[in-house]
Amino acid sequence: MTAWKKSYARAAPWFLLPALILLSLFVVWPLVRASLWSFTNADLLNPAQKQWVGAGNYGGLLADAQFRQAFGNTALFALLVVPIQVTLAFVLALWVNRPEPAWRWLRVVFFVPTVVSMPVLAVLWTILYQPAQRTEMGLINVALTTVGLPTRAWLHDPHWALPALAFMSLWQGVGLQMMIFLAGLQGVPAELHEASRIDGANAFQRVVHVIIPALRNTIVFVVTVTTILAFRLFVQPYLMTHGGPANRTRSLIQSIYETTFLGQELGRACAAAILFLAWVGLLTLLQRYFSREDRA
Amino acid sequence: MWLPYSHHVPAAFLPRSGGAITGILLIALVHLSGCDRPTPTSARVVRVWCHQGQEAENHAMRDIAAAFNSAYAAEGVRAEIVFFPDFQYTEKIAIAAAARDLPDTFDLDGPLVARLVDAGVLQAIDRWFTAAEQADFLPSILEQGTINGHLFALGSFDSAMVLYYDRAMLAQAGVTPPPNDSGWTWGEFIDACRRLKAAGLEPVAMHLDESADEWYTYAFSPIIWSGGGDLIAPDQRRVQGVLASQQNVRSLDAWQAVFREKYASTDPVDPNPFDHDKVAMDWSGHWMARPHLAHKGEKLGAMPLPGFGTNPSAPCGSWCWGMARTARDPEAAALWLKWVTDSRNGVEPIVRANGAVPARRSAFAAFPEYERPPYNLFKRQLETNAHPRPQTPGYAALTRGFAAALRDIAHGAEVPTRLQMTEKEIQAVIDRRPASTTIAEAPR
């Protein structure tokens, strides 16, 4: 080993130390603590007095109809949101990927909802979705009546509440994915576009055979991130439907939150959080698997 | 009490996506540093936590603390008061308990007393109040703070709920209000609604826009009680077979009809339609008495909530003060509790600020309005037919489940099946918690 390499090896730990200390203190230790609690019946109000219950919390959660429903709701939400949001974001990105200032404005317009705080949007959309009543009606129902369609109590209809939340979330989130796609699009080499044009490819063929293959890693990234974000659904059901009607919109995170702070069952809530972490970890591994294949 | 209007909640306090995970990690982190701290022994400092109410209430609370500090300066006892926004105040108390960082005394919402006693967070305070002093409190306040025969919390004010009405609007629809302070039967109430609607008026505001679950349990439990049912068995551990009972199904079927017939809005936007002259009656609490009187003047009337047959029922309960088991100087903390619930030093100033019902009989003399409606009605209800909400350690799950069921029922869910579903969910949460040794038969 040369001298500089040796000194490099000596110095490295010192440079890593601050980050490692902070990470261990704020991420690793709480995580270890939470996973230890997940095997106990710890009470949030009195975590010191706890009994070891083994995998009891995990078994209980997996057998709990409510927890399973929360997972099912969240998965359904992800299924509704992810394909549409990614496709829409991609189409929007293709559309606004032009240099003229007018398009820059359009980009801003699509991006604005992602910047506004979700609780504010939740309140606004609750009013938009308001069902028809004696004197008042939400704008969405007004629009439907204008074109001759029946009105609905969107947030209180067992079949429509989750799609209504999905629609609102899609509108809110699509701008962010659009921006990522835009960045990806601008990284596609101009030569590829030119070459395909010279070869006589039309717009559709250019998208399918040039842009999509060039954006493969971006697409995988966007799909994964959107999926993870979709699984972290919380504010919308918490504020707009309170998980109702009949638990149809109760999300996984909401269920963890309620177990922690309402039920105050710290052990069980930690187990639920660990299960959630494992699930998100699995999704991330899948993403790495797919994107690595592309690099090979 | 809960937040009267949801839109007063600043968005910054609302949890964000992933908040639960972060919350758990924070608890884990905070627990690490939660060792008992050495404290200066020279001054006898009482650490006091208080929920943040309206501005006037906070000022009054600060003045009460300042007066306390000057009164006990000679003994070296000093209260240090810290305010917290009341949104998710309960969660904040829970995190502090988890981190073993509770103050010496704090205020809490009445229905949570049982849970905190069960978890060993509160200590009994009966020894600091003589029998004569206790007898001066309204029965509803004593009942709210009493668990298993011991007093754990006392409030300086209580709450009440009535049916306000606009005399002019009722007259317009040819509806006669009930004589002197008596209430309507449910049938009379529905009949009045029908006539008001026929006269082109919106009959009643039920405030289903309220985002806090507590609104539903507080405002509509009286319907359950007056129908002869209950939310939970007297052992405070069994809802199965109680919540979805025949009586409750009957009562809530009747309640649902109010929304089905469009006598009340299921999704109101205006939090105060009564003062905007949009509805004829208002199913609401003592906290609206001042605004309603200011807007309606002579036109304002109030009656007890309509109920079924022989059991007129009213809700009660509000913020009350408890002492942490870990209080470093219980004697000094007790001085604070006695001060803040004292008629002259605590009750009077805070009630002047927040308009709630004084918790002590001796305090009413300072409030001549309690000779007149609607205030006399508040006092009479609390003296005679007010029920505290269930005193179960599983209250949080109970109130969440009950509120979720009522939201669905108002929007047309089938009453028996929806109640059975809720019953099962709540029972599962209660059954997971080991039976408590501290709470057996809670007195009713």
What pLDDT digit, counting tens, does each position of A210-224 carry? Answer: 899 889 889 988 998
Contacts of A81 in chain B (CB under 8 A): none
Residues B194 and B74 in one domain: no
- pLDDT for residue B25: 53
Q: Which of residues 48-107 of B touch A (CB under 8 A)?
A: 88, 90-91, 94-95, 97-98, 100
- pLDDT for residue B28: 53
Nearest CA in chain B to A121: B11
Closest by alpha carbon to B407, among A236, A256, A157? A157
Residue B320, H or E segment: strand B319-324
- pLDDT for residue B442: 37
Does A245 lie at the interface with B, CB-CB under 8 angstroms? Answer: yes
* pTM for this model (two decimals): 0.87
- pLDDT for residue B26: 53
Tokens matching residue A24: 């261990």
% of residues, chain B, pLDDT over 90: 71
Nearest CA in chain B to A243: B404
Phi, psi (deg, nearest 5) at residue B38: -70, 145
- The rounded mean pLDDT for chain B is 87
SS3 readout for A33-56: HHHHHCCECCECCECCCCCECCCH
Is residue B173 in some structural domain? yes
Q: Are A66 and A247 in contact (CB under 8 A)?
A: yes
Contacts of A270 in chain B (CB under 8 A): 24
- pLDDT for residue B372: 87
Cβ neighbours of residue A134 closer than 8 Å, sequence gap 6 or more = B202, B262, B265
| Cβ within 8 Å, pair A265-B120 | no
The ipTM assigned to this model is: 0.84
Does B427 lie at the interface with A, CB-CB under 8 angstroms? Answer: no
Residues B116 and B166 in one domain: no
**Each residue of B22-54: pLDDT tens digit?**
555 555 554 544 444 444 445 799 999 999 888
Distance in angstroms between the alpha carbons of the first and the last residue of chain A? 31
Confidence of residue B444 (pLDDT cuts 50, 70, 90): very low
| Cβ within 8 Å, pair A34-B421 | no
Number of domains present in the structure of chain A: 1
Tokens matching residue A146: 């204008």
Confidence of residue B281 (pLDDT cuts 50, 70, 90): very high
Using the 3D structure, point to which of B331, B355, B379 is the last residue of a domain.
Answer: B355
Per the structure, the complete domain to which residue B307 belongs is given by: 161-316+392-432
Residues B178 and B231 in one domain: yes
**Each residue of B117-143: pLDDT tens digit?**
998 899 999 999 999 999 999 999 999
**Each residue of B56-86: pLDDT tens digit?**
999 999 999 999 999 999 999 999 999 988 7
Is residue B177 in some structural domain? yes
**Residues in chain A, pLDDT under 70:** 1, 134-135, 292-296
Per the structure, the complete domain to which residue A216 belongs is given by: 63-295
Is residue A1 in some structural domain? no
Residues B305 and B174 in one domain: yes
Contacts of B425 in chain A (CB under 8 A): 66
SS3 readout for chain B: CCCCCHHHCCHHHCCCCCHHHHHHHHHHHHHHCCCCCCCCCCCEEEEEEEEECCHHHHHHHHHHHHHHHHHCCCCCEEEEEEEEECCCHHHHHHHHHHCCCCCCEEEEEHHHHHHHHHCCCEECCHHHCCHHHHHCECHHHHHHHEECCEECEECCEECCEEEEEEHHHHHHCCCCCCCCCCCCEHHHHHHHHHHHHHCCCEEEECCCCCCCHHHHHHHHHHHHHHCCCCCCCCCCCCCCCCCCCHHHHHHHHHHHHHHHCCCCCCCCCCCCCCCCCCEEEEEEEHHHHHHHHHHHHHHEEEECCCECCCCCCEECCCEEEEEECCCCCHHHHHHHHHHHCCHHHHHHHHHHHHCCEECEHHHHHHCHHHHCCCHHHHHHHHHHCEECCCCCCCHHHHHHHHHHHHHHHHCCCCHHHHHHHHHHHHHHHHHHCCCCCCCCCCCC
Q: Are B49 and B123 in contact (CB under 8 A)?
A: no
Nearest CA in chain B to A256: B20
- pLDDT for residue B18: 45
Give how far B116 is from chain A: nearest CA, Å: 8
Is residue A39 in some structural domain? no
**CATH classification at residue A243:** 1.10.3720.10
Mean per-residue pLDDT for B319-326?
A: 95
